[in-house]
């Protein structure tokens, strides 16, 4: 699943594919930053993804 959010200075996207990692991509003022968020379990990662992206729209 991928969710895109609009943040104050740009855009943020989260990708989650059912494992213990979520990829976060930020586009701010022309620069792109990619980060990986790691969790202890798939359930914890899914909960973070669902809670954090509740206000975002699905892509």
Structure letter (DSSP) for residue 52 = H
Q: What is the pTM assigned to this prediction? A: 0.74
**Would the pLDDT of 53 be above 80?**
no
Contact 18, 44 (CB under 8 A): no
**Would the pLDDT of 54 be above 50?**
yes
């Amino acid at each position: 699943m991928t969710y895109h959010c609009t943040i104050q200075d740009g855009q943020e996207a989260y990708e989650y594919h059912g494992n213990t990692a979520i990829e976060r991509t930020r586009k701010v003022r022309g620069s792109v930053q990619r980060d990986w968020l790691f969790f202890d379990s798939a359930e914890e990662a899914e909960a973070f993804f669902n809670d954090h992206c509740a206000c975002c729209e699905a892509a």
